[in-house]
């Protein structure tokens, strides 16, 4: 049976590899810390399986990349794609603050449990527990600010991919960013508010896939599974 959605453009969400703070669980927003050696190997391993001619992420099918300016994301880009492939991407790469990690404000560098304890000490959250997805961060970003910058990226992607819903031209897009912001991006892609309860996981160095149903730019979808031999055709 033919794949009814074959040829539909895809958006690949790539989380940077492990850092010391992803290991410890500390909030890492504006802090610019490097990948660990294990983090670099995570990305290299993902690249070996996922990236290449005829693989899921086929460089010849990529028309645009959006990359966070944090060095953990930039290093992930370097490890994911060889120098020759990166050279072929000239003019296709946008390094943008719109997909940098959530600004955690007062919570930068601390654990979620410490953030909650600090809020309690300051007399907050008396009526209900704090939820970053709906309440945001003190002296940091709130969900409305996250929504605004992610929607700008989504609008650009829809403009790129909209005319080619049936595979008339390869227009896959890659985002290389961070765990929290990519999960927020997936919510906005599907049309949900940032604060909607939609538990998702994205491990360091891992790849998520978004696309569209019925070759329709107005029907964005989450691709629950992909064939490891799928060429996107």
Q: How far is CA 210 from CA 5, 8, 17, 106, in A?
A: 12, 10, 20, 32
Residue 101 annotated among the catalytic residues of the structure:
yes
Answer yes or no: is 104 a known binding residue.
Answer: yes
Nearest by Cα to 137 from 71, 202, 194, 73: 194
Query: From the candidates 18, 40, 101, 141, which is the catalytic residue?
Result: 101
Answer yes or no: is 29 a known binding residue.
Answer: yes
Strands 207-212 and 11-15: antiparallel
Answer yes or no: is 86 a known binding residue.
Answer: no
Euclidean distance between CA atoms 228 and 221, whole angstroms: 19
Euclidean distance between CA atoms 11 and 212, whole angstroms: 10
Residue 16 annotated among the catalytic residues of the structure:
yes
Answer yes or no: is 22 a known binding residue.
Answer: no
Query: From the candidates 16, 18, 108, 178, which is the catalytic residue?
Result: 16
In this structure, what token pair is assigned to residue 229?
Answer: 């031999």
Answer yes or no: is 134 a known binding residue.
Answer: no
Euclidean distance between CA atoms 123 and 116, whole angstroms: 11
Euclidean distance between CA atoms 211 and 217, whole angstroms: 9
Catalytic residues: 16, 101
Binding residues for substrate: 28-29, 72, 101-104
Binding residues: 28-29, 72, 101-104
């Amino acid at each position: 049976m033919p794949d009814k959605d074959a040829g539909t453009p895809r958006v690949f969400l790539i989380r940077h590899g492990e850092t010391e703070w992803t290991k410890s669980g500390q909030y890492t927003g504006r802090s610019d810390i490097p990948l660990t050696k294990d983090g670099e190997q995570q990305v290299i391993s993902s690249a070996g399986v996922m990236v290449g001619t005829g693989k899921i992420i086929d460089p010849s099918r990529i028309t645009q990349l959006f990359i966070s300016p944090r060095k953990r994301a930039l290093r992930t880009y370097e490890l994911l794609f060889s120098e020759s492939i990166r050279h072929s991407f000239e003019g296709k790469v946008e390094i943008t603050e719109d997909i940098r990690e959530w600004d955690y404000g007062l919570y930068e560098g601390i654990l979620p449990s410490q953030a909650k304890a600090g809020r309690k000490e300051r007399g907050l959250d008396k009526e209900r527990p704090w939820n970053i997805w709906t309440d945001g961060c003190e002296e940091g970003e709130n969900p409305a600010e996250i929504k605004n910058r992610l929607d700008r990226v989504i609008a650009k992607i829809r403009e790129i991919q909209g005319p080619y819903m049936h595979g008339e031209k390869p227009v896959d897009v890659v985002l290389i960013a961070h765990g929290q912001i990519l999960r927020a991006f997936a919510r906005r892609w599907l049309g949900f508010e940032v604060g909607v309860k939609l538990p998702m996981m994205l491990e360091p160095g891992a790849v998520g896939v978004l696309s569209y149903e019925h070759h329709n730019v107005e029907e964005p979808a989450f691709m629950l599974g992909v064939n490891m031999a799928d060429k996107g055709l």
